[in-house]
Chain A
Amino acid sequence: MKSKQIKIVLRNCGQIDPENIFDYIERDGYSALGKCLSSGDRKAVVEVIKKSGLRGRGGGGFPTGKKWEMVSNYQSDKKYVICNADEGDPGAFMDRSVLEGDPHSVLEAMAICGFAIGADEGYIYIRAEYPLAIKRLKIAMAQAQEAGLLGDNILGTGFNFNIGLKYGAGAFVCGEETALIKSMEGKRGEPVMKPPYPAESGYMRKPTNVNNVETFANITEIINKGADWFSSIGTEGSKGTKVFALAGKVNNVGLVEVPMGTTLRELIYEIGGGIVNNKKFKAAQTGGPSGGCLTINHLDTPIDYESLKQAGSMMGSGGMIVMDEDDCMVAVAQFYLDFTVEESCGKCVPCREGNKVLYQILNKITHGHGEMEDLTKLKNFSEVIKSASLCGLGQTSPNPVLSTLANFYDEYHEHVVDKKCRAKHCRALIQYKIIENNCVGCGACKRVCPAEAVYGELKQKHLIDQEKCIKCGACIKKCRFNAIIIE
């Protein structure tokens, strides 16, 4: 059952040959650009995008039309359009999919943006880890250039627009627009204070409009079908659709595009086909390392920018990792902090040092050494990091901690007080035990144990030496008599 899906961004993905411009033109490709250029009315283009209610799909949700208007209002001899294709959230691959499946839709939208804001040059900042997307973009750019749909004097209207590629080396922080611009200029990928915003002083200190791949992929459809059509989809404050990369413990892992306001239940159980092995749903992590988790209480909340924020998470770029009863929420928070510690650029102290402290406390808790005051410390440190960090990375990095603390406090409590992990995930807090009544003394577990932790004579009950056990789980896999359990 996939009827809940509406495909705007992914309309051509899987339908056209991305390496053949005629396939794109056949589906009304470049007609939106033609329409804008032949009308000659820049302001009207900005108005349509404003009226559509489109908001940035990279995570923040800033109104796209407003951004375009701001950049178009600055007077400058040179302006730039930048497409942010530095997709870095763990488990997110929406942008790669669009660039590999429908590269022209992004190129066309960038040219439309250039026309609207008065820029004649654009760049796509793309991760070097996306070689196929880069290859297809290059082919698409060459074809569009040859057809006169990019380059000088597009469609004979006198409008020029050239697009170049800039490669990122995979630093997560470079998805933040000011760090992205620094990286493009050949400097260290570090964020700088805002204001001035890139709209005023961005790439090469010129007014610059930065939009995400998915945001751009909406533009041509809005121009072709109208702002009213677009704003009729979605919720009050969030219009249109959102692409989610559905991953984790869900049966139908994949890319889905649903109208804003679709509930988590519809996403997971109808489109996603439910949880793997019919296990119990525990949480869905949205917004990657900057987001938080939604719980069973949020299953029927319509998903949009506001409701996610209210639930302590954020839209982010659209990664959605579904977790079941076997996932330990403290370990999940630790996983994301591990990522943030690795990816923090180190420029500001709260992010560089604070996240390390958060990680160490979480590590202490998952290893059974946590104390009650650690939970207070986690919360206090998180709040300081959020309020004192320079850029979006640090301002949001404690979110996974705060959100799991708020929603799964009892799990933290159990780890600290009872030294137990209910998901049986944290190795330091579990024990492998042999149920004497079930054990027949076959010796299979003893033979497979790499730590020689199982002892007992053949045809006698066996036992596990907890001192020696490394909790690898090899014995449990070998036992055919259900005689080994995790406690």
Chain B
Amino acid sequence: MELIKSFDELKKITSGLKNKAEKDEKSKIIIKIAMATCSIASGSKAVLDIFNEEMKKQPLESVIKSTGCMGLCHSEPTVQVTKPGSEPVVFGHVDPKRAKLIIEEYIKNGRLIDGVIEVN
């Protein structure tokens, strides 16, 4: 990583990153998997592995992020999927089987499955 030498340089980097993120949002599927201590304890590591593995085989481009906890302890492990042009959808109680179902049903075919959590 390059040394950031001034506030102006930081601002430039920020706006560059914002542009990239905006572009990604328009063209890629963004998958966020909660990976805090609590999430890992409830099995999110296996879910992350499934997404990393399976999304490679899909024709659609995606960004997979392991994040901190979303605060939804009651439904861990949780996965948030944002398709280009759509609102984020949060799935709860995701295990490897459900992870595959999310890819098949929601990501590929746009059909919602049970266990979507209402947030905000």
* Majority secondary structure, A binding face: loop
Choice from A1, A13, A157 contacting B71 with Cβ under 8 Å: A13
Contact A100 B37 (CB under 8 A): yes
Q: A26-B17, A31-B10, A31-B11 are in contact. Are A3 and B120 (CB under 8 A)?
A: yes
A22 interface contact, C-beta 8 A: yes
Bound: A26/B119 CA distance, A: 23
Choice from B6, B11, B80 contacting A156 with Cβ under 8 Å: B6
Contact A132 B67 (CB under 8 A): no
Choice from B4, B21, B70 contacting A147 with Cβ under 8 Å: B4
Select from chain A the residue with minimum beta-carbon distance to B69. Answer: A97
Choice from A17, A25, A97, A257 contacting B36 with Cβ under 8 Å: A97
Bound: A14/B120 CA distance, A: 14
Least CB distance, B112 to chain A, in whole angstroms: 18
Least CB distance, A465 to chain B, in whole angstroms: 42
Q: A2-B119, A22-B17, A251-B74 are in contact. Are A14 and B32 (CB under 8 A)?
A: yes
How many CB-defined contacts (below 8 Å) exist between A and B? Answer: 115
Contact A147 B1 (CB under 8 A): yes
A48 interface contact, C-beta 8 A: no
Q: A17-B67, A31-B14, A253-B73 are in contact. Are A155 and B7 (CB under 8 A)?
A: yes
Contact B7 A16 (CB under 8 A): no
Select from chain A the residue with minimum beta-carbon distance to B67. Answer: A14
Interface size, B (range): 35 or more
Contact B119 A132 (CB under 8 A): no
A400 interface contact, C-beta 8 A: no
Least CB distance, A8 to chain B, in whole angstroms: 13
B115 interface contact, C-beta 8 A: no
CB neighbors of B among A176-194 (8 A): none
Contact A101 B69 (CB under 8 A): yes
Bound: A196/B89 CA distance, A: 52
Task: Write the B39-77 contact mask toward A (1 if CB under 8 angstroms, else 0).
Answer: 010000000000000000000000001111111111000
Select from chain B the residue with minimum beta-carbon distance to A5. Answer: B120
A354 interface contact, C-beta 8 A: no
Interface size, A (range): 35 or more
Bound: A96/B78 CA distance, A: 18
**Residues of chain B lying within 8 A (CB to CB) of residue A256:** 71
Q: A2-B118, A3-B120, A5-B120 are in contact. Are A155 and B5 (CB under 8 A)?
A: yes
**Residues of chain A lying within 8 A (CB to CB) of residue B113:** none
Q: A14-B32, A132-B36 are in contact. Are A23 and B65 (CB under 8 A)?
A: yes
Choice from A13, A96, A148, A253 contacting B4 with Cβ under 8 Å: A148
Least CB distance, B90 to chain A, in whole angstroms: 9
Q: A14-B80, A100-B37, A132-B37 are in contact. Are A37 and B69 (CB under 8 A)?
A: no
Binding site for B on A (CB under 8 A): 1-3, 5, 10, 12-19, 21-23, 25-26, 28-31, 34-35, 37-38, 93, 96-98, 100-102, 130, 132-133, 143, 146-149, 155-157, 251-257, 273
Q: Can you give 17 A-B contacts (C-beta < 8 A)?
A: A5-B120, A13-B67, A14-B67, A16-B68, A21-B1, A25-B14, A25-B17, A26-B17, A31-B14, A37-B7, A97-B36, A101-B36, A147-B1, A148-B5, A155-B9, A155-B10, A257-B71
3 closest Cβ pairs, A-B complex: A101-B68, A255-B71, A14-B70
